[in-house]
Structure 1
């Protein structure tokens, strides 16, 4: 059997799976986006650009998503990198496994339950009451972008920690010692040694968190209280409540396009920072 034919046979099952489970649903969504809403909802075949022309009606959802998703990703990165560095470089090997388990412990509980727990913490009888007792007023924390950001960081932080931890675990500690012996201060060692060698983990973790946040709807729904809408919330409303499937498909197609462009530009930037390495986003 020719090598090319053998390779094609090996790839055929995976290719068929991707076509049926990934490409075909996207094609269906794209076709629906050019249709019109029926009298009782649903989809009526047509060839119209009206749904794309009305995207401005959901601009608030796009705006919240395009602001809070990158901001949440950046916040997770800022918190996760020192934590991953401590776990990979500084932590006692005898306790490392236990510490890693503690990082993923929140994942053992449904995100729904964890989000409701934050309602109690950020609600009127939680942190605001404590702040009021300290004589600093009683701020409103729940049903705000701040509450959504707290839920995002709490829910997605482990997805950022582990890729960075895996990248830093491969780091040769002798490089850090050599940098210190040559007189480099810790911050310069971070910029010239630790950060460049962990870019693969940073890229992977950032993509995991960012892509999931772009489609997030549960955390904004619960902690935003219907006042902080993401595109995911708009899609739930369009498909399940107003049953405007063509408009929902147009919103979904636009979201996919925005994610595709953003991720492509991000990977190119990371590849440039890593000196042209093709494996910058691979673990």
Structure 2
């Protein structure tokens, strides 16, 4: 609880407080919330940032694009990560440790460095020539949706694999054997036994991918095109370019409120499963 208060609650309260300010000359560049004059303490809360945010069409476009990109990224991570996590859970212990290390090792390096590494790989003309040699048509591999989703999936895939693997490793293999003895086919066993029992890990992993993907800034700017306006980029521009800390904070608060909804949904599902 102390960790939660110091590193989440207190910083969030600072962001909420800044969201009720307006730009002003000075350091920091926003108006004061508290003022003391004539032995009276005044609390000054400006609602301009929230009113402007709720009426700005660009914000809705950015939210739609960000949620769409996050949903597609999460779906791709599920389609790729679930078979990997399932295969890991059924390997021998030594092989499991080896492949887990291989999954984690790239994350010992800088996030930005790994993103620029993909830019170097996809920008190599020899790679495009090799694909054409395989019979594929010439295509742009960089600065489009393909490269953006590739970078997003690469960056967030382990966040789905690891919690899902933690759920799958706990499943008793006797359940699959019992289903086979009762005449169930492998596909039926998967959808009726494995998938439902691994749902807590799948939901947790999906949220670990979806929530940071909504506010992602680096990958869309470096590897993406100009078709998507990410809400993280809007917050970045308001903070660093426009120097409007209040507007940036207001957008951040609204985004956090939106992201809390899937977390509440996940908690209710887990409570139902525990009760059951």
Structure-2 residue corresponding to 1:68: 69
Moved more, 217-226 or 143-152: 217-226
Tell me, in whole angstroms, the C-alpha distance in 2 between the residues paired with 1:156 and 1:63.
20
Q: TM-score, normalised by structure 2?
A: 0.84
What is the RMSD of the two structures over their aligned residues, measured on CA atoms?
2.4
1:85: how far off? 0.8
Aligned to 2:119, the other structure's residue is in SS state helix
Alpha carbons 1:36, 1:43 under 8 Å: kept = yes
Structure-2 residue corresponding to 1:213: 213
1:257: how far off? 0.5
Structure-2 residue corresponding to 1:174: 174
- Which residue among 26, 29, 53 is the counterpart of 1:42? 29
Structure-2 residue corresponding to 1:5: none
Tell me, in whole angstroms, the C-alpha distance in 2 between the residues paired with 1:203 and 1:134.
38
1:122: how far off? 2.4
Tell me, in whole angstroms, the C-alpha distance in 2 between the residues paired with 1:239 and 1:102.
37
Structure-2 residue corresponding to 1:82: 83
Structure-2 residue corresponding to 1:54: 52
Q: Deviations along 1:112-166, whole A, 9 cap, x unmatched?
A: 1211121123226254443444564432232222211111111111111111111
Aligned to 2:141, the other structure's residue is in SS state coil
Equivalent residues, number: 261
Tell me, in whole angstroms, the C-alpha distance in 2 between the residues paired with 1:215 and 1:263.
16
Tell me, in whole angstroms, the C-alpha distance in 1 between the residues paired with 2:51 and 2:146.
32
Kindly report structure 1 stretches of 4+ aligned residues shifted beyond 6 Å: none
Tell me, in whole angstroms, the C-alpha distance in 2 between the residues paired with 1:137 and 1:39.
55
Tell me, in whole angstroms, the C-alpha distance in 1 between the residues paired with 2:206 and 2:145.
20
Aligned to 2:125, the other structure's residue is in SS state coil
Structure-1 residue corresponding to 2:273: 277
Q: How does 1:3-14 map to 2 (within 5 A)?
A: 14=1
Structure 1: segments with no counterpart, 5+ residues: 1-13
Alpha carbons 2:69, 2:214 under 8 Å: kept = no
Tell me, in whole angstroms, the C-alpha distance in 2 between the residues paired with 1:78 and 1:71.
11
Structure-2 residue corresponding to 1:28: 14
Alpha carbons 2:74, 2:209 under 8 Å: kept = yes
1:39: how far off? 5.1
Alpha carbons 2:145, 2:225 under 8 Å: kept = no
Aligned to 2:273, the other structure's residue is in SS state coil
1:173: how far off? 0.7
